[in-house]
Structure 1
Amino acid sequence: MMTSFFDQFMSPIYLGIPLMALAFILPWLLFPSPAPRWLNNRLLTLQSWFINRFTAQLLAPMNIGGHKWALVLTSLMIFLITLNMLGLLPYTFTPTTQLSLNMGLAVPLWLATVLIGLRNQPTAALGHLLPEGTPGPLIPVLIIIETISLFIRPLALGVRLTANLTAGHLLMQLIATAAFVLLPIMPTVAGLTAIVLFLLTILEVAVAMIQAYVFVLLMSLYLQENV
């Protein structure tokens, strides 16, 4: 029996094996690989069209140097969307509700973009810490503020993804519990609550896709500043 609404966000362990490892493998098992044929089926065609359109839109504003990240960013997008969507199914676990996982994705990628900027264009990368035309007395303060804003970027990425998914899942569970409790007492109100739950589920599907896209989009913007 669930003792707390937040128990659903704990990393489950079955027979001593963390199920988060199984969740990591599922995206690669669900998506089919392209076949060496002239014509593919509808699923492969739709999958290829989505990947091509997303990659073209994501890399359009970038320089040529940023195009090397196409495979990483596209794979990350598909990976996050799959994990978020699978977490909406009954009796499943959403790994992206864990802040440790999201920070584990955000920090290395963010650090890679910073190191690329320091290696390729160190003057421009350091110039972001101090806006042009800043008065002399404000220079130390602005450098500290810009440095803090730089290091807070991966935290913002991880917390944004975690908070949105956690809040949505928790709200769905609260409304579902209310509908279940009200069913024998006030069936009409329980029916209206179930309709609200259905609409919220549709919203959560959109949030699962949008948050994955926002995560990758912000990472591409950080990359764009450093290439």
Structure 2
Amino acid sequence: TENLRAFDRVRLLTRVLSGVGRCDTSVTVLGRRWASPMAVAPLAYHTLVHPEGEVATVRGAAAAGVPVVVSTFAGRAFEDLAASAATPLWLQVYCFRDRATTRRLVERAERAGFEALVLTVDTPRLGRRLRDLRNDFRLPDHVTPANLPRPGADYASPAEHGRTELDPALNWSVVDWLRSISTLPVLVKGIMSDADAERAVAAGVDGIVVSNHGGRQLDGVPA
């Protein structure tokens, strides 16, 4: 709600007669040119809403000239995404209690041609999502994390899977660990304060993503 209100408060003050015959919205990020300063944020299980899942998303992003940050819980294999269109792909990383699982994900994405790692740092526990609780949300049988073959894991319940599988005790040393297992640039996603931004720079990250997780993780944070 706060995010929607923040957008509602934005007003555009136009300037006129400025001689702009041609506009260029492109930017360079991590050495790659993007058509505009936008990217597709990580979101799990695109297969919930489209039969081709993230493959369709990547094709759309390529047509728009922007990158895609692919969720750890993508519904399509990293290799399929890399083969579907020529646009930069970054991997959104959740750090599992079993670090070997995270390592396998990172190494697989790097082999597939992904260009950066985006570590989500604002989800030590999955937020209390009341709508999901009310409707007893569970994934349908055909929707699974294509890059996480974990026998016995309860993927159908995202809340339960997050509680049992994700590491709630991360600290800044995880940045060094990610660097030790990959040559890719490392960004951290979920920064909400200038103090944490400075701490991230001190930890040697290649970039930060200022984000409140769409207000879905903790609804009391500012937009």
Normalising by structure 2, we get a TM-score of 0.24
Larger Rg: 1
- Higher RCO, 1 vs 2 (CA within 8 Å, ≥6 residues apart): 1
Bigger share in helix: 1
Bigger share in strand: 2
